[in-house]
Structure 1
Amino acid sequence: MTKLNWGMIGGGAGSQIGPTHRISAGLDGHFLLCAGAFDIDPDRGKAFAGSLGVSADRAYGDWREMLAAESARDDRLDLVTIATPNATHYEISRAFLEAGFNVLCEKPLTMTANEAREIVEITKESGKVCAVNYGYSGYPLVRQMRAMIANGDLGKIRLIKAEFAHGFHADAEEADNPRVRWRYDPAQAGTSAVFADAGIHAFHMACFVSGQTPTELSADFASLVGDRQLEDDAMINFHFNGGAVCRLWTSAVAVGRMHGLTLQVFGEKGGLSWQQQHPEQLHWTPLNGRTQILERGDSDLSEQAVRASRIPIGHAEGMPVAFANIYMDLADVLNAQRTGAKPDPMALDFPQAEDGYWSMRAIEAAASSAKANGAWTKL
């Protein structure tokens, strides 16, 4: 298989997410890092590109220079990953999509629902792929949950309980740390802080595994540390279009909680429970039966879970491998695009622009509901 040409914007030296993308994209050998604009400082970005083995003629000072140069190349990029600050996602994604590039954008896709809707429309018009990195949906046992629910193993879904709660912003003395403060500044973060940053992953997971979308929500936002303008704790109730009720808690002040991403789904015939800090196991309890532990790597799991597993049972996989499943899906779709073939249907599970749009609608509706003392708000 010919490797796909891949480029990055952002994710340079000191980035939290950049190394994960590079590990994940390279894991299966589908992508070759050919180009990048890695830093807001042009010289620093070019030097970092060189350290990664990117040739000097494809080490760019900024994304505009990268767009102009790559658009003129015969060996242009097959995929561009955008890992820049949130407020830049819309402008960069739009520009590359309109120029005919496929895009994988870090979440949030945009800062507003209107911007996200524009990206969805541009994606459809261009015929290109726009993926959003809700990378936790790449975990094999999350895909097992989705497959079991779609197969009817749980019967009608009644209740979903989703959490993403940590305590890393609980120290009042750290409230003015620039790495923390921006998250609670509406000018930089938008209308929501912890729900838009962390809770939105739990929201996407609830939609992803259940196959349902929300029709209305009621939100309670709280700012519990200092004089933060945006929430550092939130509880949100959703009504889904398939009849399920979802209870979502997200927090940045839950001292003692580390990552805290968990998902439980309860149906007429049984329940499922998964924790991102223990991703190798999925707890399955049939109605009136005993709880069973499904292990990642078991041969009798769903095709989706087997496809997403790389190493034998008993050897732990992790977040980069979950992200790698998003890149594997994209490689399948882009190679099919290149050859005119149809991609594996299981490759179409990657989060797309529509997921980014739903997320922004949920964020804006939750912020509006919270301001109205939890009034039920239509999406």
Structure 2
Amino acid sequence: MKLKWGMIGGGEGSQIGPAHRLGAGLDGLFDFAAGAMDHRAEAGIDYGRRLGLGDRAYGSWQDMLAGEQARDDRVDLVTVATPNSTHYEITKAFLEAGFHVLCEKPMTMSVEEGEDIVRTAQATGRICAVNYGYTGYSLVRHMRAMVARGDLGAIRLVKAEFAHGHHADAADADNPRVRWRYDPAQAGVSAQFADCGIHAMHMASFVTGQEVTKLSADTVSCLPSRVLEDDAMVNFRMDGGAVGRLWTSSVAIGRQHGLGIQVFGEKGGLRWSQEQPNQLYWMPLGGRLQVIERGEGNLSPEADRTSRVTVGHAEGMPLAFANIYKDLAEAIAAQKEGRAMDAAADLYPRAEDGLRSMAAVEAVAASGQQDGIWLDARPPMFR
């Protein structure tokens, strides 16, 4: 039986909404059953009805919560794709009402809120996932599998980056689609690192299996009118001994969506880029450079499970998102059936990951204001 899925936010014209709808629907595991698509009630109801939601197109998330609670066929999973400042309130309310939640990042606006979400998920027994969707790529999961099985030996160094140039034009300073990202009242203590840098940092942890313990940051607003940073360089240390380097920028003209990661161990190195997701470059110590192709034979179970089209054809971001939804469908089904979930699917990012990211955001902001002083990057409840 299909699971039922609902969405809050992601309305008409949204950047992220279509990727979630494509991802959730791709495998036929979820039916799009309910939504509160816009903060403007009439617009949200109209768009939801045009998407086929009928009387389950709601004018607000509060209406959706009340309406779905009252139904025997309530949604199984709710995706929260609203502005950052609303994530905490909505996610907490749906968890407490017994719904599983997939929240867009950043999960919260503060570490305290993040710890509360983790505790709420633990207390309710509900799944709370965070959409670090790029970890859904097949070859990212194969990287993780290679590291875990020891192909690289002990990991010495990880280099991650997420740089683009789409906010480099000073003429866009008053563009509302750009301006809010650098406004502390709407974005919190960080702009570019909280928006993009946490994707790169989370991927470093996801691939290596290590968590960030401390960091030092150099942050700058290259456009003087901005209060929050548009470029950051972060050095970090991980609990398994790896050294980390991370660069994130929104003023790197010529870069489009530059998320990439390199991992170097005692026995070899790996390199992957989101803009060329079908190739993973593997250099064994003393060997020759090899190109691992997505979809080729004899990859890991984690990669095979998430490779959807034949080798040589491009896979993109909505399919990576679909793998997060595929993981969550397996997790929800396993919970309903009282069984262990498929280990190759047990890779969706948790509330704990969202909390660690928020702690890193606050540490980066504080370190950047103090000339790069090294600070503890762990949330208090994990120290």
| TM-score, normalised via structure 2 length | 0.98
Aligned equivalent of 2:182: 184
Look up the match of 1:316: 314
Shift of 1:72: 1.2
Q: Deviations over 1:100-119 (max 9, x none)?
A: 00000000000001100100
Residue aligning to 1:151: 149
- SS where residue 253 of structure 1 aligns? coil
CA RMSD of aligned residues (A): 0.6
The correspondence for 1:270, drawn from 248, 263, 268, is: 268
SS at structure 2 position matched to 1:313: coil
Q: Structure 2 CA distance, aligned partners of 1:133 and 1:214? A: 19
Aligned-residue offset at 1:214: 1.1
Answering whether residue 366 of structure 2 is matched by residue 368 of structure 1, we say yes
Q: Distance between the aligned counterparts of 1:371 and 1:226, measured in 2?
A: 15
After TM superposition, list the pairs within 5 Å mapping 1:239-254 onto structure 2. Answer: 239-254=237-252
Question: Could you report, residue by residue, the CA deviation over 1:302-361 in whole angstroms, capped at 9, with x for unpaired residues?
Answer: 110011101110111110100000000000011111222221112210001000000000
1:164 to 156, 162, 165: 162
Alignment correspondent of 1:7: 6
Name 2:25's counterpart in structure 1.
26
Q: Is the 8 A contact 1:161 1:264 kept in 2?
A: yes
CA contact (8 A) 1:107 1:356 kept: yes
Partner of 1:351: 349
Partner of 1:218: 216
Aligned to 1:39, the other structure's residue is in SS state coil
Question: Corresponding residue for 2:381?
Answer: none
Q: Is the 8 A contact 1:10 1:37 kept in 2?
A: yes
Once the two structures are superposed, residues 40-61 of structure 1 have per-residue CA deviations (whole angstroms, 9 ceiling, x without a partner) of 11111111011111122x1111
In structure 2, what is the Cα distance between the partners aligned to 1:120 and 1:28? 29
User: Is 1:198 paired with 2:177?
Assistant: no
Do 1:172 and 1:226's aligned partners in 2 also have CA atoms closer than 8 Å? no
The aligned amino acid for 1:42 is: A
Distance in 2 separating the partners of 1:187 and 1:260: 27
* Aligned-partner residue type, residue 93 of structure 1: T
Residue 43 of structure 1 pairs with residue 42 of structure 2: yes
**1-structure distance, mates of 2:6, 2:250:** 32
1:304 matched to which residue of 2?
A: 302
Alignment of structure 1 residues 47-196 onto 2, 5 Å: 47-56=46-55, 58-196=56-194
How far apart are the structure 1 equivalents of 2:343 and 2:268? 27
CA contact (8 A) 2:159 2:263 kept: yes
Q: Which amino acid in structure 1 is aligned with residue 376 of structure 2?
A: K
Q: CA–CA distance in 2 between the matches of 1:4 and 1:378?
A: 41
Q: Determine the C-alpha separation between the residues in 1 that align with 2:277 and 2:230.
A: 26
Structure 2: distance between partners of 1:266 and 1:210:
10
SS in structure 1 opposite 2:304? helix
CA distance in 2: counterparts of 1:346 and 1:59, whole angstroms: 35
Q: Deviations over 1:192-230 (max 9, x none)?
A: 000000111000000000000111100000000131000
* Residue deviations 1:264-300 (CA, integer Å, cap 9, x gap): 0000000000000000000000001110000000111
SS of 1:349's equivalent?
Answer: coil
Aligned to 1:329: 327
Please tell me the residue identity of whatever aligns with 2:335.
Q
Give structure 1 stretches of 5+ with no counterpart. Answer: none
Retained in 1: the 8 A contact 2:302–2:345?
A: no
**Using the alignment, how far apart are the partners of 2:350 and 2:278 within structure 1?**
25
Task: Find runs of 4+ consecutive structure 1 residues off by over 2 angstroms.
Answer: none
Aligned equivalents of 1:142 and 1:74: distance in 2? 39
Cα pair 2:36 2:45 within 8 Å, conserved? yes
- Find the aligned partners of 2:110 and 2:278 in 1 and give their Cα distance: 35
SS in structure 2 of the partner of residue 374 of structure 1 = coil
Q: Distance in 1 between matches of 2:335 and 2:149?
A: 29
Tell me the alpha carbon deviations over residues 153-185 of structure 1, each in whole angstroms, 9 at most, x when there is no partner: 000100000000000000001111110000000
Percent identity for Structure 1 against Structure 2 = 63
